[in-house]
Structure 1
Amino acid sequence: MLSTTSIKQIMQDRQSVRKYNVETKISRETIRQLLQDAISAPSSSNMQPWRFIVIDDKEIQKNINFFSFNQEQIETASAIIAVIGDTEMYLNAETIYAQNVELGYMPEEVAKNMAKNALAMYGAASTKVLENIVHFDAGLVSMQIMLLAKEMGYDTVPMGGFDKAKFAEYMELPANEIPILLLAIGEAAAPAYGSSRLPLDRIVRFNK
């Protein structure tokens, strides 16, 4: 169903909600559609380094809260979407650019050259550089998830405050997949706190 709410209104309505109705269920089909729409986000060289773990099992939500500083929303939200960054995302370069050819977005020769360049560039990058890239790209897709969720009538809160090493160990993540943030999604049980913003003159300047 198409929304008549403007993107500006959705942005203004979106707030970080920390109290959720524990009885509210969100179907996996709904979450899959949400993520399908969200991954239209841009990414470095279109390498799409984001990976997602949807946690909708209450026992697992409770378990991850042991190393998430005991945040109420971890256990009461309908689901937790863990946003993961894959530092070996460039290994999908040939597949990604082959799809671009199939879809008619570029000639095959151009796609092969771009895939080759991506493999060489990212393959030679340091771990620190790759981690910076996947963190940046994860931020782009996470914002889209939150706005799309709000359009669907759900609330969210992004959480970077959790023990990422313990989370990775518990979820048995491979070394190339790093936890970046947890997104709680569900139906608000109480309004979010308002939050102020610095004056534009404090944060914007033009040219030098």
Structure 2
Amino acid sequence: MISANHEQQITTEDIIRSRRSVRKYERGVTIPAAEWNEILELAFSAPSSWNLQHWRFLTIQEQANKDRLLPIAYNQQQVSDASINVVVLGDLQANLAAETVFENAAPEVREMMLGQINGAYANNSVFSRDEAIRNASLAAMQLMIAAKAKGYDSVSMGGYNPKALIKEFNIPERYIPVMIISIGKAAAPGRATERLPMEHQVISESF
């Protein structure tokens, strides 16, 4: 990606280091459909277990619907002001996609993979929930990085009423809400946060 003056090459490292959780957005900014689709395509290239792509993105960008979401998100103003809100959902029945994912695989590979997947999911709600959250979270982070690469800011939120969200937006039982991400043009920069030292966060080889 090239900056506006076409002189500085913006690297992946620059994008990651410059990403902040932004809570104030320019109201009324529309992300062009073609650009938004590019962001989604980048997000959807995230890794997933068995390539089942456990995420679903419920996108909310009409103002009336953003304002329906606002009280559910405990009146966090960015929900109303941002260009798009993405409700990141995890698929509790992602194993049902396996037939499609492996339909073009060699028969022996397909049989092996379906056996692995269906065996792992059989009568194991804890596993399916963990997989839904884990894999949807990978796509969510990639979505925020992709948005930043295209010049948009974002914030991820765990502060919302999941029961009200499910009811208001008719989310099927198959999907579990993982987080809400607001995306748009920052009206004020996100605050840089201090990070714990690396030696606190990294354990080498064993505890």
Q: TM-score, normalised by structure 1?
A: 0.91
- Is the 2:27–2:83 Cα contact (8 Å) retained in structure 1? yes
Residue in structure 2 matched with residue 114 of structure 1 by the alignment = 113
CA contact (8 A) 2:54 2:94 kept: yes
Which is worse superposed, 181-190 or 110-119?
A: 110-119
Alpha-carbon distance in 2 for matches of 1:28, 1:43: 26
| Cα displacement string for residues 102-124 of structure 1 (whole angstroms, at most 9, x for unaligned residues) | xxxxx332123212321232133
**Which amino acid letter does the alignment assign opposite residue 184 of structure 1?**
S
User: What are structure 2's unaligned runs of at least 5 residues?
Assistant: 4-8
2:191 alignment counterpart: 193
- Aligned-partner Cα distance in 2 for 1:112–1:30: 39
Percent identity at matched positions? 33
Q: Secondary structure at the match of 2:195?
A: coil
Question: TM-score, normalized by length of structure 2?
Answer: 0.92
Query: Which whole-Å CA distance do the structure 2 matches of 1:170 and 1:88 have between them?
Result: 22
The correspondence for 1:75, drawn from 76, 80, 83, is 80
Q: 1:6 aligns with which of 6, 11, 23?
A: 11
Q: How many pairs does the alignment contain?
A: 201
Partner of 2:36 in structure 1?
Answer: 31
Q: Residue 90 of structure 2 contacts residue 175 of structure 2 at CA under 8 Å; is this kept in 1?
A: yes
The residue that corresponds to 2:146 in the other structure is 148
User: Which residue is 2:56 aligned to?
Assistant: 51
Q: Residue type of the partner of 1:166?
A: A
- In structure 1, the partner of 2:89 is 84
**Which residue of 1 is the match for residue 100 of structure 2?**
95
1:123 corresponds to which residue? 122
Name the CA distance, whole Å, in 2 between partners of 1:183 and 1:95. Answer: 28
8 A contact 1:22–1:77 mirrored in 2: yes
Residue aligned with 1:98, SS = coil
C-alpha distance in 1 between matches for 2:117 and 2:133: 18
In the TM superposition, what is the alpha-carbon distance from 1:65 to its structure 2 partner?
1.0
Partners of 1:172 and 1:56 lie apart in 2 by 16
Q: Which residue of structure 2 aligns with residue 167 of structure 1? A: 165
- Aligned residues: CA RMSD: 1.5
Deviation at 1:30, TM superposition (A): 2.2
Matched to 1:42, the amino acid is P
Q: Please, which runs of 5 or more residues in structure 1 have no aligned partner? A: 102-106
CA deviations 1:66-120 (Å, max 9, x no partner) are 1111001000000101111110110010100114x3xxxxx33212321232123
Q: Is this contact kept in 1: 2:90–2:136, CA < 8 A?
A: yes
SS in 1 for 2:45: coil
Could you tell me how far apart the structure 2 residues matched to 1:201 and 1:119 are?
40
**SS, match of residue 111 in structure 1:** helix
* TM-fit CA distance, 1:63: 0.9
CA–CA distance in structure 1, aligned partners of residues 126 and 160 of structure 2? 20
Q: Which residue number in structure 1 is paired with residue 6 of structure 2?
A: none
